[in-house]
Chains A and B, each alone.
Chain A
């Protein structure tokens, strides 16, 4: 497997006020691969994911130490604009959140913000993103209708299309399937597997089977610590730590 480093995390700790949520996390996330984070709820997976695109910046009393580098660039450097960072590191959330506008405008919103395309070029970009998110065939005749009317699974694929629209390098996904039915889940898993050819995908999931199926690398979090990080084969096959073994075999959490 190709292992060009994409995101390098060094000694990251995170606090919500006086409550420490992450303890000295270190890892190197490879490019163009799917990296999954697993662990019981409340162990800090979402917190960690949100550090990677600085979504925690505005939380009152939150504090982070350590460094996170994206292609050798420190994402918290003064010269880094948080808007540009979030364009490069996109995010898909647990609950699909379409904007209250048409399907077309949902996907065109990001490109318009960053002035990436307009007119015909924007139409083509929107089409391409919807095709890449495996939604085009279902919505091509109703691009002007409200995104709110789509089903949950379609809304989540729309959110993925919206994330793709600003051509990110990295896509963060926080339990993207946990609000969806098995069929939609299956479609999104297929989609993720395809996306890794072009993007670095980092996904948090509650579903161990899903992590095993789709991920190349797996990280196991427990009480804010990264207990184990390695190739999914190793983590699921021959885990090095007892806690990991217990967790993936359902002995706790």
Chain B
């Protein structure tokens, strides 16, 4: 009969096991602690001006304490809305193409998507500036910058992200689901649209939300496109956005505005947080019904 007593090998294994478990635990704690510290710091600094009037007022450069970020919030929401309405159809449809088609063209598209994904955001802003804003400004002096152009820049940044997620999520849909639908005599396009895409929906929605959260904080592409504004303006002209406001307040010479930069950052983070929770909630509700 085998002995039940500990052998040196078993002891060694137990020690190694405990060692690695501790190491993993410590690393996890460090990762969470850093994140927690950032959030806590942000919260402590930002809470000073984080009150209702801050969200309903425009910046006040004469008496900064009376200022707010109403137009920046509205601007960001509008710009992100435009980015979404550009990137969702193009990203999802091209993701479907990638998942379905194969061959040379598809590989080229896939490669270019990766390249697009790696382009620094400032270059995309510069690109929109060069092909859109500059030519427009040359024809109509004093005009050109617009919220729509900013939305387009962020939308372009989101396309490869949405496309990749869609492609990946569609590949996770089992062949058996395809077969079940095709076996009813359903054409491929109808199977894709009504059976396969809905079953990949949760993953795609999450991917879109992550992409949105990523571009929501982008500053560089907005510098060249929406310019920023001290007032509430139409989306067809220069508008403000949260990251731009943050930058402006943070680099202001006024200490009150410096503090307001933290409140702006807190607002930005909260909006992203709300978007993520909303995405979770939407996908979960969808699963239940």
Where the two chains meet, the residues of A that have a C-beta atom closer than 8 Å to any C-beta of B are 53, 55, 82-87, 90-91, 93, 95, 97, 99-102, 109-110, 113-114, 145-146, 159, 162-163, 165-166
When the two chains form their complex, are residues A101 and B182 in contact, meaning their CB atoms are under 8 A apart? no
Which B residues contact A (CB, under 8 angstroms)? Answer: 174, 176-177, 179-187, 190, 194-195, 198-199, 287-289
Q: Is the Cβ of A87 less than 8 Å from the Cβ of B184?
A: yes
Q: Within 8 Å CB of B186, what residues of A? A: 83, 109-110, 113
Q: How far is the CA of A114 from the CA of B184 in the complex (A)?
A: 9
> In whole angstroms, how far apart are the Cα atoms of A84 and B182 in the complex?
11
What chain B residues lie within 8 Å of A159 (beta carbons)? 180
Asked if A53 meets B195 with Cβ closer than 8 Å, knowing A97-B176, A113-B190, A146-B289, the reply is: no
- By a CB distance below 8 angstroms, the chain A residues around B184 are 86-87, 90, 109-110, 113, 162-163, 165-166
Q: Output the nearest chain B residue to A84 by Cβ-Cβ distance.
A: B185
* Contact status B198-A93, CB under 8 Å: no
Contact between B288 and A146, CB atoms less than 8 A apart: yes
- Contact of B185 (CB < 8 Å), options: A93, A101, A110, A146: A110
Q: In the assembled complex, which residues on chain A have CB atoms less than 8 Å from the CB atom of B287?
A: 146
Chain B interface SS verdict (over half): helix
Q: Which residues of B contact A55 (CB under 8 A)?
A: 179, 182-183
Minimum CB–CB distance for A102 against chain B, Å: 8
Contacts of A163 in B (CB 8 A): 183-184
Q: Given A55-B183, A84-B185, A86-B182, A109 and B194 touching (CB < 8 A)?
A: yes
In the complex, which residue of chain A has the Cβ closest to the Cβ of B191? A113
- The residue of chain A having its C-beta at the shortest distance from the C-beta of B188 within the complex is A58
Looking at chain A's contact residues, the main secondary structure is mixed
| Tally of A-B Cβ pairs under 8 angstroms | 65
Q: Are B199 and A93 in contact (CB under 8 A)?
A: no
Task: Determine which of A84, A86, A95, A102 lies in contact with B183 in the assembled complex, contact meaning CB atoms within 8 Å.
Answer: A86
A100 partner, pick from B185, B187, B195, beta carbons under 8 A: B195
**A99 and B179 within 8 A (CB):** no
Q: Among the interface residues A55, A100, A166, which one has the most CB atoms of the partner chain B within 10 A? A: A100
Residues of chain B with a CB closer than 8 A to A95's CB: 176
Q: Judge whether B185 and A113 touch: CB under 8 Å.
A: yes
Q: Are B180 and A97 in contact (CB under 8 A)?
A: yes
Closest chain B residue to A53, Cβ basis: B183
Pick from B181, B187, B288: contact of A99, CB under 8 Å: B181
B185 touches A85 (CB 8 A): yes
B residues less than 8 Å from A109 (CB atoms): 181, 184, 186, 194-195
Residue of A nearest to B288 (CB): A146
The reply to whether B180 and A86 contact each other, CB–CB distance below 8 Å, is no
A93 and B190 form a contact (CB under 8 A): no
Contacts of B288 in A (CB 8 A): 146
**Which residues of chain B have C-beta atoms less than 8 A from A113's C-beta?**
184-187, 190
B84 to chain A, nearest CB (A): 24
User: In the assembled complex, how far is the CB of residue A78 from the closest CB belonging to chain B, in whole angstroms?
Assistant: 18
A90 and B183 form a contact (CB under 8 A):
yes
The complex places the Cα of A162 from the Cα of B179 at a distance, in Å, of 13
Is the pair A93, B176 in contact by a Cβ cutoff of 8 Å?
yes
Q: Which residues of A contact B198 (CB under 8 A)?
A: 100-101
Contact A83 B187 (CB under 8 A): yes
Q: Which residue of A lies closest to B180 (CB)?
A: A97
List of B residues within 8 angstroms of A87 by Cβ: 184-185
Are A166 and B180 within 8 A (Cβ)?
Answer: no
For the complex with contacts A83-B185, A99-B195, A146-B287, 18 further pairs of A-B residues with Cβ separation under 8 Å are: A82-B185, A85-B185, A86-B182, A86-B185, A87-B185, A90-B183, A93-B176, A97-B179, A97-B180, A99-B180, A99-B181, A101-B198, A102-B289, A110-B184, A110-B186, A113-B190, A159-B180, A162-B184
**A83, A85, A86, A97: which contacts B177 (Cβ < 8 A)?**
A97
Docked complex Cα distance between A80 and B195 (Å): 25
On whether A99 and B289 interact (CB within 8 A), knowing A86-B182, A110-B185, the answer reads no
User: Given the complex, which residues of A lie within 8 Å of B195, measured CB to CB?
Assistant: 99-100, 109
Q: A24 to B179, alpha carbons, bound, how many Å?
A: 26
Closest chain-A Cβ to B95's Cβ sits at a distance in Å of 18
Residues of chain A with a CB closer than 8 A to B194's CB: 109
